[in-house]
Structure 1
Amino acid sequence: MDDAPVIRSLLETDLYKFTMWQTLLHAFPANDAEYRFVCRNVPAFPLSELCEAVNRELDHLCTLGFSDEELTYLGGLRFMKADFIDFLRIFRFQRRFIEARPGEGAEAGQLVIVAKGPQVHVMGFEIFVLAIVNELYFRRLCAGREPEVLAEGRARLAVKAARFRDYAAAVPATLGADAHPFECFDFGLRRRFSGAWHDEVVATLKREIPQVFKGTSNVALARRHGLVPIGTMAHEYLQTWQAVGVQLRLSQRAALEGWVQEFRGDLGIALTDVIGMDAFLADFDLYFAKLFDGLRHDSGDPVAWGEKALAHYAALRIDARTKRLVFSDGLDVDEALRLHTHFAGRVPVGFGIGTHLSNDLGPKPLNIVMKLVRCNDQPVAKLSDAPGKTLCDDQTFLNYLRQVFRVPTAG
């Protein structure tokens, strides 16, 4: 397969990296942070065997800068501020802030990757690291059978596009003329098969189902294909506020307020599952419910989550038809269509589909993440609505977080 560098542009990352990056640069430029790579499933071979290649890719990544054309594009997004673009103009990743090594002892066979340093210098590593590990893994796993793997991927993609097209065309007849349309977007950069395949997927969906496919989180592909770049915030943004001197119980409210002050009406979809939906809704009062355009689901039962969101809007006397629910948790075609059928008569919905678009070619995808684990030398946590997604390397802090937000222990 292609031996060229995996990452060839610093624009090849998710939009929410730029939006969070700008916000944290303005709010907490002196933060220190630590991010760790985790593989949640069992790979076909030990990921530690990729370590040498990963380090070569990281060396290359740290030579890249933003071009004038890329910065002009970013600066043209109305929520990107001039001082942040100037910061990016001189930005380079620093190799000393990231380490990749084979695991030892209990981590034997694992690939250990740690980014640690000033948050505004290390937070950007995440998406690039995940794309690098994925592409190196599948280059090796599929060596010698790339044509057949890609042929299978194209066949599967054609079936998905046809199903989306047929379903969307039938919505007025099956759900009623007042039902909100079916719309989806690509969230597949972090776990894609390869950069070339990701580009082909996005180009194919734009060509085949433009009435359904509305954008991508990949900023480079959005620019290349004339699509809308999609994204607002991720877990690390709300987690950061757990470690910046705000009273812990008020950290979610402070994070939401910080977002409102930074973007003043833009980027209005709030992520709900950093401490769980119930704890989020306890903080998402009338003020925030009016200011934010909607909510994003990323763990737990999506129907139960959506019903809670609709009940919350109703209790606040807000017409849910003026808001939007975005689903993004491990979606495939069947699940996206099921959720649309359930909710589209009551609220606008959108579907961010990741691995099922960008890495469905036959070989089993990796389930990898790179998450914020410490900030300002304090632990932070993601207390998900799905137990398998909870992340924290300090059980004492996790227990305290549960107590403060009155989140029961799963089980």
Structure 2
Amino acid sequence: MIIESLLDTDLYKFSMMQVVLHHYPAAHVEYRFKCRNPGIELVPYIDEIRAELAALCSLRFTTDELDYLREMRFIKSDFVDFLGLFQLNAKYVTIEPAEAGNGEIEIRIVGPWLHTILFEVPLLAIVNEVYFRNTQPGLDLAEGRRRLQAKIALLHETPDYEHCRIADYGTRRRFSRVWHEEVLTTLRDGLDKQLAGTSNVWFARRLGLVPLGTLAHEYLQAHQALGPRLRDSQVSALETWAMEYRGDLGIALSDVYGLEAFLRDFDMYFCKLFDGARHDSGDPFDWGERMIAHYRANRVDPRTKVLVFSDGLDIPKVMQLYEHFRGRCLLAFGVGTNLSNDVGPEPLNIVIKMIRCNGQPVAKLSDSPGKNMCEDKAYVAYLRQVFEIPAEQG
């Protein structure tokens, strides 16, 4: 059994789920799986993935797990009470061979947002682990351990980087659950205070780490169908978040419509209200410079705001960004696949993205066009027009 606890997911799934419970309990959504690596055959493992899905859907939150969530300052008691009754249901998930017959698989999740939001991360972790345990049976992890120790040494022993801290964001693309735990234990013991925490709630609890996370793209995408009008959907999403958390969990995601559109909406009110912003596509150096300039233009001292970098980072890139921006703002770094799946074989670049909400298409048009995913080309064109997004961005 790959997933042994419903806490084995990213914290932002719970923070978003609480907003869904309180503000959008009737929302209906659809997610779709995509493997960005060419030529990866997953069809031989469909039965195994389905069996792991069934095991996932047998899980319930334990009393101890609920007590752990209840201790978090931003988690409300009625949400924990709801989780006490919660169970994932496999009827919302279909896993089939792709129609193209090329060895790829099609995973779709369709159902109430409140009852499907927790599928994404554990399902991706399942696909990863099933694939690697079949294609790399008995892999010697000595190379992975060597690489991990080299990363720790680089960050921990380079002078003047003692205040450079990283967090683990690697649950969805990890090599395996067991390896993920070894990585986190090794990082905790080797980096000490330079490990800020992990996005994984289960491992945060098990290993005494800080659970980290705020919100994801799906939250802002859904507001394309939930907001008062499309042009105001990003503002509506941020205002609803602020209404729910009253200043807590204040990191805004900046790339659902690209940085230019984000900055148009992220006015002085949001600059002052939110603690900072997260980068997840496009050039991180350009993004950071523009965010700092934007804060200054809105009479906010950027040294009081957090810039979170989380797009495909490795330790050398973290250190370059830290050197470039330190002293000019507060910094945070989320490192994912490069920590949890750097053992030798090429990692899978797999995602599960929301593509519809309440029967309407939704899309992400980030600063990295390869990350975009929508089945309705006419809607993408309309979205570009509404948010004044260049055609090459989507």
Question: TM-score, normalised to structure 1's length?
Answer: 0.94
Residue deviations 1:167-194, cap 9 Å, x none? Answer: 3x4248xxxxxxxx21110000010000
Query: In structure 2, which of residues 154, 168, 180 is the aligned counterpart of residue 163 of structure 1?
Result: 154
* CA apart distance, 1:245: 4.6
Match of 1:326 in 2: 308
Query: In structure 1, which of residues 383, 386, 407 is the aligned counterpart of residue 368 of structure 2?
Result: 386
Pairing 1:137–2:131 present: yes
Q: How far apart in 1 are the matches of 2:68 and 2:359? A: 36
Give the alignment of 1:96-175 within 5 angstroms: 96-104=91-99, 106=100, 108-144=102-138, 146=139, 148=140, 150-167=141-158, 169-171=159-161
Query: In structure 1, which of residues 178, 186, 190 is the aligned counterpart of residue 172 of structure 2?
Result: 190
Query: In structure 1, which of residues 271, 285, 298 is the aligned counterpart of residue 267 of structure 2?
Result: 285
Residue deviations 1:214-262, cap 9 Å, x none? Answer: 1000000000111110000000000010001521000000000010011
Give the alignment of 1:3-402 within 5 angstroms: 5-42=1-38, 45-104=40-99, 106=100, 108-144=102-138, 146=139, 148=140, 150-167=141-158, 169-171=159-161, 181-402=163-384
What secondary structure is seen at the aligned counterpart in 2 of 1:34? strand
AA of the residue aligned to 1:78: R
AA of the residue aligned to 2:285: V
Q: How far apart in 2 are the matches of 1:262 and 1:164? A: 37
What secondary structure is seen at the aligned counterpart in 2 of 1:170? coil
Q: Is the 8 A contact 2:27 2:358 kept in 1?
A: yes
AA of the residue aligned to 2:256: V
Q: How far apart in 2 are the matches of 1:238 and 1:346? A: 28
Q: How far apart in 1 are the matches of 2:228 and 2:52? A: 38
Q: How far apart in 2 are the matches of 1:225 and 1:369? A: 27
Q: CA RMSD in A?
A: 1.1
Q: How far apart in 2 are the matches of 1:113 and 1:65? A: 23
* CA apart distance, 1:96: 0.8
Q: Is the 8 A contact 1:33 1:375 kept in 2?
A: yes
Question: TM-score, normalised to structure 2's length?
Answer: 0.98
Q: How far apart in 1 are the matches of 2:193 and 2:21? A: 37
Residue deviations 1:245-295, cap 9 Å, x none? Answer: 521000000000010011111111110000001100100001111010001
Q: Is the 8 A contact 1:59 1:95 kept in 2?
A: yes
* CA apart distance, 1:109: 1.2
Residue deviations 1:291-331, cap 9 Å, x none? Answer: 10001000000001111100100101111110010000000
Q: How far apart in 1 are the matches of 2:193 and 2:238? A: 32
What secondary structure is seen at the aligned counterpart in 2 of 1:139? helix
How many residues in Structure 1 have an aligned counterpart in Structure 2?
A: 393
Q: Is the 8 A contact 2:227 2:236 kept in 1?
A: no
Q: How far apart in 2 are the matches of 1:245 and 1:74? A: 29
Q: Is the 8 A contact 1:35 1:123 kept in 2?
A: no
Q: How far apart in 2 are the matches of 1:311 and 1:227? A: 34
Percentage of identical aligned residues: 54
AA of the residue aligned to 2:91: R
Q: Is the 8 A contact 2:227 2:237 kept in 1?
A: no
Residue deviations 1:18-55, cap 9 Å, x none? Answer: 00011111111001000111001125x41111111010
Q: How far apart in 1 are the matches of 2:170 and 2:43? A: 24
Q: Is the 8 A contact 1:62 1:92 kept in 2?
A: yes
* CA apart distance, 1:108: 3.2
Q: Is the 8 A contact 1:332 1:353 kept in 2?
A: yes
Uncovered stretches (5+) of structure 2, i.e. residues with no partner: none
What secondary structure is seen at the aligned counterpart in 1 of 2:236? helix
Match of 1:177 in 2: none
Q: Once structures 1 and 2 are overlaid, which stretch shifts more, 393-402 or 34-43?
A: 34-43
What secondary structure is seen at the aligned counterpart in 2 of 1:209? helix
Q: How far apart in 1 are the matches of 2:71 and 2:16? A: 17
Q: How far apart in 2 are the matches of 1:77 and 1:111? A: 38
